[in-house]
């Protein structure tokens, strides 16, 4: 009898763990970062790109462009929470709370990650993709 109860308890704990996994942690890996993915957008040829910042993701998450393409990200943020946009290799480290405009440059090849330094571990990141695959 006790054994049966223990088994049921274990099943319930297992279900709870699955439910948490479904709504919780970031699932997708882009450019070595675990992120909450909200899609990929081809922005080749564009100079201004609308981007949404939310808790905790960027949408679209992966921007696909051409080598060296310079773009202005018009980030829309109505979360009321302090966020940040960082690309280490371009010395970009910009805090924002509300809409913000940030100039970025696509890499010559491969993929380059960006992230919010405050919510990196919650999956708030993305990538600038030029060639290859964003995942991994
Ligand atoms: Cu953030």
Predicted confidence (pLDDT) per residue in 92-106, tens digit? 999 999 999 999 999
For residue 53, give Cα distances in angstroms to 2, 21, 66, 67, 125. Answer: 50, 22, 23, 25, 10
Ligand 1 midpoint to CA 8 (Å): 39
Ligand 1 midpoint to CA 35 (Å): 12
**Total count of domains within the chain:** 1
**Element (DSSP H or E) covering residue 16:** helix 2-23
- Report pTM: 0.81
- Does residue 97 belong to any structural domain of this protein? yes
- Does residue 73 belong to any structural domain of this protein? yes
- Does residue 5 belong to any structural domain of this protein? no
Q: Burial of 51 by CB count in 10 Å (0-12 exposed, 13-18 middle, 19+ buried)?
A: buried
pLDDT at 15 over 70: no
- Does residue 45 belong to any structural domain of this protein? yes
Ligand 1 midpoint to CA 7 (Å): 40
Ligand 1 midpoint to CA 120 (Å): 7
Please choose, from the candidates 102, 103, 58, the residue with its C-alpha nearest in 3D space to the C-alpha of residue 77.
Answer: 58
Tokens of 134: 């964003």
Q: Is the dihedral of CA 128, 39, 37, 115 positive or negative?
A: positive
Ligand 1 midpoint to CA 4 (Å): 45
- The pLDDT confidence band at residue 19, using thresholds 50, 70 and 90, is very low
SS3 14: helix
For 114, the domain range is 28-129
| Average predicted confidence (pLDDT) for the chain | 88
Per-residue pLDDT tens digits for 100-136 = 999 999 999 999 999 999 999 999 999 999 999 888 6
Task: Give the pLDDT score at 22.
Answer: 44
The CATH number linked to 88 is 2.60.40.420
Phi, psi angles (nearest 5°) of residue 79: -80, -25
Ligand 1 midpoint to CA 14 (Å): 30
Ligand 1 midpoint to CA 97 (Å): 9
- Does residue 12 belong to any structural domain of this protein? no
- Does residue 76 belong to any structural domain of this protein? yes
Q: Regarding predicted confidence, which is higher, 26 or 81?
A: 81
* Residues whose CB is less than 8 angstroms from the CB of residue 48 and which lie 6 or more positions away in sequence, other chains included: 71, 72, 74
- Does residue 39 belong to any structural domain of this protein? yes
């Amino acid at each position: 009898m006790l054994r049966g109860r223990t088994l049921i308890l274990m099943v319930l704990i297992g279900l709870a763990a699955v439910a948490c996994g479904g709504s919780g942690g970031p699932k997708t890996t882009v450019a070595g970062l675990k992120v909450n993915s909200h899609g990929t957008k081809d922005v080749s040829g564009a100079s201004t790109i609308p981007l949404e910042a939310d808790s905790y993701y960027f949408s679209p998450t992966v921007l696909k462009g051409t080598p060296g393409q310079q773009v202005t990200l018009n980030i829309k943020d109505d979360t009321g929470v302090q966020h940040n946009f960082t690309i280490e290799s371009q010395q970009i480290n910009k805090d924002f709370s509300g809409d913000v405009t940030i100039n970025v440059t696509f890499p010559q090849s491969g993929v380059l990650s960006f992230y919010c330094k405050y919510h990196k571990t919650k999956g708030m990141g993305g990538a600038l993709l030029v060639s290859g695959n964003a995942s991994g």
